[in-house]
Amino acid sequence: KEVETQQKLANVVVLATGGTIAGAGASSANSATYQAAKVGIEQLIAGIPELSHLANVRGEQVMQIASESITNENLLQLGRRVAELADSKDVDGIVITHGTDTLEETAYFLNLVEKTDKPIIVVGSMRPGTAMSADGMLNLYNAVAVASSKDARGKGVLVTMNDEIQSGRDVSKMINIKTEAFKSPWGPLGMIVEGKSYWFRLPAKRHTMDSEFDIKTIKSLPDVEIAYSYGNVDGTAYKALAQSGAKAIIHAGTGNGSVSSRVVPTLQALRKDGVQIIRSSHVNAGGFVLRNAEQPDDKYDWVVAHDLNPQKARILTMVALTKTSDSKELQRMFWEY
């Protein structure tokens, strides 16, 4: 009988990368003071015996780091392992445990480069497992539930935090400390209650199977950097980033991705030198930057990030530059992905 149930259940692999979901603090009162990336994946899985009712789950420790320290090399390593597993007939779904600080970047990266319709779920937690009311256990349970469900196929990379199913493209860490940290300006796709998924909307942008990018053909990622804007800003940071080899600079602009009059000449000069300039916005709840609004992008040959925040704009620009160095092509990709 047990063998029969195992055969019917989906096979889910949990790839562990570290983060607070693998964190540990000195006491149960430590919800904010703790060390991330301490607990191994075997221990995390063993801590949730109910997972065995959802799927045949096995874990793999890909790395053990706090996500603020993730490098482009780490991204590629993870992306390649996900692709190998997605190609395997014995794997129905993939879960990635991840720190929350750069979770939105990794989720968007995988959404762009993984050629599969199998569910890929990225999950983290805001409190370490040692804390009172730790959120990691339920978030991981929900991730496995979604990864093992047929309904989740073909919906792009998903994120399960705080009972919600979010699109990996849209979602962002909007607040720290609180467990309702992950929000999308366009709303969640669904909810998970007691291991069952309830869907309400679908992603509209190109992803995974419909993407023109493929992790298998990406050898390395180019240097793309972000410069932050504020009152009294000048061009120093932009120039320094270009000098250190940035192929593109994401302007994390104020408001509509506006550019200070002190910075405009610097960005014009950098573009003439071949550096791509991407205008995005750092407003908190999600920006919306349109071409030739605030600045004459056509005239300066700049690109706008539209609704992508600066860190997501960096991910798309890196991936896009592996295919093209044409600013018009870059702009097309920003509308489509």
Ligand X SMILES: NC(=O)C[C@H](N)C(=O)O
Asked if 67 touches ligand X (CB under 6 A), the answer is yes
Residue window 94-133: x/- pattern of binding to ligand X, with contact defined by CB under 6 A:
-----xxx----------------------x-x-------
Asked if 320 contacts 329 with a C-beta cutoff of 8 angstroms, the reply is: yes
Q: Nearest to ligand X by Cβ — which residue?
A: 99
Identify the residue among 11, 16, 20, 110 touching ligand X (CB under 6 A): 20
Point out the annotated binding site for substrate. 67, 100-101
Residues shown for the chain: 337
Q: Which of 170, 107, 182 is nearest to 139 (CA)?
A: 182
Identify which of residues 126 and 152 has a Cβ nearer to ligand X in the complex. Answer: 126
Out of 68, 87, 210, 326, name the contact with ligand X by CB under 6 A: 68
CA–CA separation, 197 and 210 (whole Å): 24
Nearest approach in angstroms of CB 229 to ligand X is: 25
Token output for 196: 């069952």
Size of the site for ligand X (CB under 6 A): 11
Transcribe 40-93 into DSSP letters.
-HHHHHHT-TTHHHHEEEEEEEEEEE-GGG--HHHHHHHHHHHHHHHH-TT-SE
Query: Which residue is catalytic, options 97, 100, 102, 160?
Result: 100
Binder of ligand X out of 19, 79, 156, 190 (CB under 6 A): 19
Residue type for 177, please? Answer: I
Query: Annotated catalytic, 71?
Result: no
- Beta carbon nearer to ligand X, 142 or 331: 142
Q: Is 100 designated active site?
A: yes
Which is closer to ligand X, CB of 126 or CB of 242?
A: 126
**Shorter beta-carbon distance to ligand X: residue 68 or 87:** 68
Rounded to an integer, what is the distance from CA 285 to the centroid of its chain? 16
Residue 47, number of CB atoms within 10 A of its CB = 14
Enclosing H/E stretch for 108? helix 103-113
Which residues of the chain form contacts with ligand X (CB under 6 A)? 19-20, 36, 66-68, 99-101, 124, 126
Q: Which residues are catalytic?
A: 20, 100
